[in-house]
Amino acid sequence: MLDIKFIRDNKEIIDLGAKKKHLNFKVEELIKADDERRKLMTSLEAKRAEQNVVSAKIPSASVEEKASLLVAMKEVKESAQKEEDQLKEVMKKWQTLMLAVPNIPDMSVPEGETDKQNVELKTWGTIPVFDFDPKTHIELLENLDMADFEKGVEVAGFRGYFLKGDGARLNFALWQFVLDYFAGKADFEPMLVPSLVRKDTLLGTGYLPQGEEDLYKTQDGDYLAGTAEVATMSYFAETTLTKAQLPKKVLAFSPSFRREAGSHGKDTKGLKRVHEFFKFEQVVLCEASHQVSVEHHEALLANAEELLQRLNLPYHVVVNCGGDLGLGQVKKYDIETWVPSGRVWCETHSCSYFHDFQTRRLNIRYKDTDGKVRFAHSLNNTALATPRILISILENNQQKDGSIYIPEPLQKYMGKAVIGPAKR
């Protein structure tokens, strides 16, 4: 959410931001609703002031004057009630429009409508060359008895899966690998966070109202979040920090759930678009400075890159174009790792900063050194998401005999260097 004064003073910039994000938002509609809101609020304030003046006169008024004043009071009260009813309707419209105002993308964000227009920033690693036809991660998992997709569908429905044996152990090894990496970064606090959250938490982080179709909703009106960022940000809601407490850095972990709306017919098998998964998320709150946000953005990206480099996974980083940004994002990087079977890059990480878009909605503030209270800036980036990362690990490390070489950092958790040989 942006400040209404900023919106009124920068209507052209808001319009340009919406166009760059390819969003159908008309700022003039919001300005019109805001004008109505202001007019009604001013009128109501005047009527309440008039009521106070009349109320003050009544005790000392004569009987005749009291009757006249009470009639006048009734008329003012009835008129005020009508305007209060009008204001309620105007406020509903105003709040809906305010929640739809897109954040302004950074000038460095490339033009484009879809992820096909994202711009490659850099690449790392060597794409493996096999002297055999590489298998898909599904074939590898099933051949090595590491997963059961058939039972997954029977038990959990479409896109369900079971990881078992070395498949489960490899997943656990990745979790411990991430925890140990961030244990060396004392400024990050590990946190287990809820995935079952209230509607307000999703409104606050910007996943509602626009993203509802991709969320699971319970019969009680709560939701299953698609990322640990949601609960983590809400943990700090209605909080005023000191500048000395910033930056706040959290390594958050939770189960995550997505309906994968809009992906009908895409990646229906395997681990790419599952409905239930697990994420380690880096979340940062920092001072209200664009430069400081940019510095943290690059640092979060570097953490994710280092994890992939330690796993020796080829990847590239792309800068997301305007049309591939969410409502609140100022700028976003995606990291995509190499998948040999399809000879494609597969998104595994997203790194974003929001300025005060989320913190204004959640009322997360800090007191600056000059004593002024400001809204903090927020950022987040995937540290690691499982089981999707297993796709690249398995396929890039497969051997001719169908076995899997375990990346060196994971071997101590697995107690071996190779999974296999393949079952015949």
Give the model's pLDDT for residue 268. Answer: 65
Which region among 46-50, 112-116, 219-223, 240-244 has the lowest average model confidence (pLDDT)? Answer: 46-50
pTM of the model: 0.91
* Tens-place pLDDT, residues 319-331: 999 999 999 999 9
Tell me, yes or no, if 350 is annotated catalytic.
Answer: yes
Among candidate residues 37, 169, 361, 388, the one labeled active-site is 388
Are residue 140 and residue 228 in the same domain, yes or no? yes
Are residue 125 and residue 218 in the same domain, yes or no? yes
Mean pLDDT for the stretch of residues 363-378: 96
**What's the structural domain count of the chain?**
2
Residue 108 lies in a domain: no
* Tens-place pLDDT, residues 79-94: 888 888 999 999 999 9
* Last residue of one domain, picked from the residues 99, 131, 150: 99
Give the model's pLDDT for residue 55. Answer: 75
Residue 109 lies in a domain: no
Give the model's pLDDT for residue 58. Answer: 76
pLDDT-derived band at 163, boundaries 50, 70, 90:
very high
Are residue 244 and residue 391 in the same domain, yes or no? yes
Among candidate residues 8, 273, 310, 374, the one labeled active-site is 273
Tell me, yes or no, if 258 is annotated catalytic.
Answer: yes
Whichever domain contains 354, its CATH number is 3.30.930.10
Among candidate residues 36, 83, 212, 347, the one labeled active-site is 347
Are residue 63 and residue 126 in the same domain, yes or no? no
Are residue 78 and residue 188 in the same domain, yes or no? no
pLDDT-derived band at 224, boundaries 50, 70, 90:
very high
Are residue 92 and residue 130 in the same domain, yes or no? no
Residue 393 lies in a domain: yes
* Last residue of one domain, picked from the residues 99, 134, 167: 99
Are residue 95 and residue 119 in the same domain, yes or no? no
Are residue 15 and residue 137 in the same domain, yes or no? no
Give the model's pLDDT for residue 424. Answer: 40
Residue 74 lies in a domain: yes
Are residue 272 and residue 373 in the same domain, yes or no? yes
Tell me, yes or no, if 347 is annotated catalytic.
Answer: yes
Q: Which residue has the higher pLDDT, 50 or 385?
A: 385
Whichever domain contains 44, its CATH number is 1.10.287.40
Q: 132: domain range? A: 115-419
pLDDT-derived band at 23, boundaries 50, 70, 90:
very high
Of the chain, the percentage scoring pLDDT greater than 70 comes to: 97
Residue 104 lies in a domain: no
Are residue 138 and residue 251 in the same domain, yes or no? yes
Are residue 40 and residue 142 in the same domain, yes or no? no
Residue 110 lies in a domain: no
Of the chain, the percentage scoring pLDDT greater than 90 comes to: 82
Residue 107 lies in a domain: no
Mean pLDDT value across the chain:
93
* Last residue of one domain, picked from the residues 71, 99, 127: 99
pLDDT-derived band at 266, boundaries 50, 70, 90:
low
Are residue 121 and residue 79 in the same domain, yes or no? no
Q: Which residue has the higher pLDDT, 311 or 66?
A: 311
- For residue 423, is pLDDT > 60? no
Residue 84 lies in a domain: yes
Q: Which residue has the higher pLDDT, 68 or 309?
A: 309
- For residue 404, is pLDDT > 70? yes
Alpha helices in 278-401 (DSSP H): 290-310, 357-362, 389-396
Among candidate residues 159, 258, 360, 361, the one labeled active-site is 258
